């Protein structure tokens, strides 16, 4: 769609020309002498193309895929994750505990980019129910064939998605202006609801007649689609589900939280650096368990008031759905002898994945270490909010949308509340009068300190796309930096 | 660019081809995005490294390369607390438009800069810009619109 964004041909041409002239300012290392600015604490090194070329040669010579010169990268954080003994059974104390049943299927789904008809470039190939997937929407249903996902249905009513679909609707409007079903030829089908809202459905692969029938009703809403459940052959990605990386999910019924690592996913190597994946399942102060499996899922977690899950399978293949239930023991934390995780503000010994957890007005939360990401120990990698704001959780990694300001870690913008959450491992006991400003103006904020963390909830009036500048200040107006 | 499929022996050559074809564009793209030659070197190197690492999983290595550069530039900015370096001297040949554009790039929010550079330097289409930024198309267009509006103010 060529809208007003690209209609100013003269401006477009000036921009193109100007940027290419700017690009001529690039100076190769050989021409700029000692001006090289190290990143991540790296020392100066040879011109980058020599490394890449060498790596390419290495690939050519070895005939294998990925053995880049990672030693050049952040070597201080590349802590080897060496699985040792594989825990094959839950710790002994679980014998004394009641293990609840799960009525809902628990699945983890890996969506391969190859499966889909467009490059998704997923940050995390594992998706869960309702996950937002770039260029696809929110995934709701998946169809499997022999354990391999072969078709998926994504549904979204997010305004950002409907933005350009409106254009298609206008051009494809029915004569009476009522129901419109537009397809853009890329798997998107669009319906205009009676109230004027637009529903967009993206399907990959076939869609059963059952779903077609539901979708054909212009009065149907996305809630209707969800309530109707998956069409024949599809599996609804119901919660709770497990995803790789810093995964977290909750169930309002069972109320459990889980973290899972899948070592085969190459993108997770950075996390392996900070996750203490070694040895048998062990207790970590803070109420967490950690362990490793030699070839499969890793990790076990606990959270106060919730339940403990221990993953010990050894045959979980990547790219397939797995029913975790057979491999999981569920334990009410209330019955776990050591379960008082939120009394701990820090975790030792290091390295540890968990910095702290606590009770806040939004619910329970936990935070993870991100030592390897920026070289500064004690930052927060993931923050998880469980309870009232279940949707407000996220990880701060190299690809996350969260941003930082002055050492604060900010969580995702919550569209429902209009709030950002800023988090730091520091406390400001001497500053009980903390305030926040957004783009220089006083902001509506709530500041809580718990478990060695300071959490600031800043209601941001500005368009979040502008990445408003949020600062934390003391009573004198001085910015506080952790 | 579409990578060859099912031919392991062709992969190294394909990687080399990708590298040869796009190394210059990649580093200059990173330079325009960050304003620093040194940072551009590192960001581009890391991006190529990621492409090689994920080669078997990529349908469009070139697109992933630019995606990785965008991500790398973000990471650099996050670590440094700034996202653009204005300390490098501009070449003498740069005209007033380029100076103005550089100033805007340094001032606009990062997503807008990413969208502008992807569009006008890398020559990507709007859907490609969205994919490279990892955002929905509508969001990318929103960033583009705001960025272009900022550019229009200084180029009029």
ipTM (interface predicted TM): 0.87
Confidence band of B118 (pLDDT split at 50, 70, 90): very high
The pLDDT of residue B23 is above 70: yes
- Closest chain B residue to A26, measured at CA: B37
Distance from chain centroid for Cα B110: 12
Percent of chain B at pLDDT > 90 equals 8
Per-residue pLDDT at A3: 41
Segment B86-115, tens digit of pLDDT: 655 666 556 788 888 988 998 888 888 999
Largest CA distance in chain B: 53
Contact predicate A210/A141, CB 8 Å: no
Place of tokens 């392996």: A272
Backbone angles phi, psi at A367, to 5 degrees: -140, 150
Cβ pair A39:B42 closer than 8 A: yes
Cβ pair B145:A5 closer than 8 A: yes
How many A-B residue pairs are in contact by the CB < 8 A criterion?
229
Backbone angles phi, psi at A309, to 5 degrees: -120, 140
Taking CB atoms and an 8 Å cutoff, what residues of chain A touch B42? Answer: 39, 42, 48
Q: Which of A22, A121, A134 sits opposite B94 (nearest CB)?
A: A22
Segment B41-75, tens digit of pLDDT: 778 877 777 777 667 777 778 877 888 888 778 76
Per-residue pLDDT at A168: 35
State the pTM of this model. 0.35
Helix axis angle, B11-34 relative to A9-23, nearest 10°?
100
Distance from chain centroid for Cα B100: 19
CA–CA distances in Å: residue A68 to residues A54, A55, A60, A262, B49: 9, 5, 12, 21, 6
Order of all β-strands in the sheet with A107-110: A126-127, A107-110, A322-323
Q: Does A39 touch chain B (CB under 8 A)?
A: yes
Backbone angles phi, psi at A326, to 5 degrees: -70, -15
CA–CA distances in Å: residue A453 to residues A145, A357, A380, A477, B6: 46, 9, 10, 21, 50
Task: Find the DSSP H helices in A297-407.
Answer: 371-374
Interface of A with B in 368-407 (CB under 8 A): 374-375, 398-399, 403-406
Cβ pair A68:B11 closer than 8 A: no
- For every one of its 482 residues, what pLDDT tens digit does chain A have, with 9 covering 90 and above? 334 345 567 888 889 888 888 888 877 765 654 332 222 222 222 222 222 222 222 222 222 111 111 122 222 222 222 222 222 222 222 222 222 222 222 222 333 333 333 322 232 333 334 444 433 445 555 554 433 344 555 555 443 333 333 333 333 333 333 333 333 334 445 444 445 444 555 454 445 555 556 655 655 665 666 666 666 655 554 322 222 222 222 222 122 223 332 222 222 221 221 122 222 333 333 333 333 333 233 333 333 222 233 333 333 332 222 233 333 333 333 332 222 222 222 222 222 333 334 443 333 344 443 333 333 333 333 333 332 222 233 333 322 223 334 445 454 445 555 555 565 545 555 555 667 776 677 777 666 665 455 666 666 554 444 445 666 777 777 766 54
Contact predicate A304/A356, CB 8 Å: no
Cβ pair B67:A73 closer than 8 A: no
Tokens of A461: 């009036």
């Amino acid at each position: 769609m060529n809208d007003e964004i690209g209609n100013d041909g003269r401006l477009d041409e000036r921009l193109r020309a100007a940027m290419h002239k700017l690009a001529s300012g690039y100076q190769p290392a050989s021409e700029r002498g000692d001006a090289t600015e190290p990143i991540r604490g790296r020392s100066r090194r040879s011109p980058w193309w020599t490394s890449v070329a060498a790596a390419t040669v290495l690939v050519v010579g070895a005939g294998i895929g990925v053995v880049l010169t990672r030693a050049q990268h952040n070597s201080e954080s590349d802590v080897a994750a060496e699985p040792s003994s594989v825990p094959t059974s839950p710790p002994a104390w679980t014998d004394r505990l009641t293990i609840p049943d799960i009525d809902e299927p628990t699945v983890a789904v890996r969506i391969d980019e190859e499966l889909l008809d467009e490059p998704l470039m997923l940050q995390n190939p594992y998706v869960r129910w309702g996950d937002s997937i770039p260029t696809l929407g929110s995934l709701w249903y998946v169809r499997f064939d022999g354990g391999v996902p072969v078709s998926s249905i994504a549904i979204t009513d997010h305004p950002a998605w409907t933005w350009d679909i409106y254009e298609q609707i206008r051009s494809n409007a029915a004569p009476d202006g009522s129901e419109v079903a537009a397809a853009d030829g890329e798997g998107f089908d669009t319906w205009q609801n009676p109230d004027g809202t637009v529903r967009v459905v993206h399907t990959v692969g076939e869609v059963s007649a059952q779903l077609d029938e539901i979708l054909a009703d212009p009065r149907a809403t996305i809630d209707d689609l969800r309530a109707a459940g998956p069409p024949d052959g599809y599996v609804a990605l119901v919660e709770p589900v497990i995803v790789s990386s810093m995964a977290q999910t909750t169930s309002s019924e069972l109320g459990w939280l889980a973290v899972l690592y899948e070592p085969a996913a190459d993108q997770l190597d950075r996390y392996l650096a900070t996750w203490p994946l070694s040895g048998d399942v062990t207790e970590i102060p803070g109420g967490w368990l950690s362990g490793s499996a030699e070839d499969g899922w890793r990790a076990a977690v606990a959270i106060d008031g919730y339940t403990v899950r221990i993953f010990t399978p050894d045959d979980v293949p990547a790219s397939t759905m797995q029913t975790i239930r057979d491999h999981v023991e569920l334990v009410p934390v209330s019955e776990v002898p050591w379960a008082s995780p939120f009394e701990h503000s820090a975790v030792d010994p290091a390295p540890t994945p968990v910095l702290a957890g606590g009770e806040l007005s939004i619910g329970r939360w936990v935070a993870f270490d991100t030592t390897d990401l920026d070289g500064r120990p004690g930052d927060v990698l993931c923050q998880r909010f469980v309870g009232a704001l279940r949707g407000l959780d996220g990880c701060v990694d190299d690809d996350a949308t969260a941003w930082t300001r002055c050492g604060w870690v900010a969580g995702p913008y919550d569209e429902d509340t209009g709030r950002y959450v800023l988090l730091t491992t520091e406390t400001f006991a001497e500053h009980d009068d903390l305030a926040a400003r957004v783009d220089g103006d006083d902001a509506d904020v709530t500041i809580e300190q718990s478990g060695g963390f300071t959490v600031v909830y800043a209601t941001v009036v500005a368009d979040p796309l502008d990445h408003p500048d949020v600062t934390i200040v003391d009573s004198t107006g001085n910015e506080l930096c952790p | 660019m579409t990578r060859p499929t099912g031919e392991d022996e062709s992969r190294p050559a394909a990687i080399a081809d990708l590298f040869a074809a796009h190394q210059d564009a990649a580093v200059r793209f990173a330079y325009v995005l960050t304003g620093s030659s040194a940072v551009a070197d590192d960001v581009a190197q890391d991006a190529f490294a990621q492409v090689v690492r994920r080669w078997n999983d990529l349908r469009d290595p070139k697109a992933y390369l630019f995606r990785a550069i965008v991500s790398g530039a973000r990471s650099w900015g996050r670590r440094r607390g700034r996202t653009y370096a204005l300390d490098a001297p501009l070449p003498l040949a740069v005209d007033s438009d380029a100076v103005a554009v550089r100033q805007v790039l340094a001032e606009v929010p990062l997503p807008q800069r990413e969208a502008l550079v992807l569009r006008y330097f890398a020559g990507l289409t709007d859907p490609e810009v969205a994919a490279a930024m990892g955002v929905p198309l509508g969001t990318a267009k929103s960033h583009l619109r705001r960025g272009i509006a900022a550019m229009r103010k200084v180029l009029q």
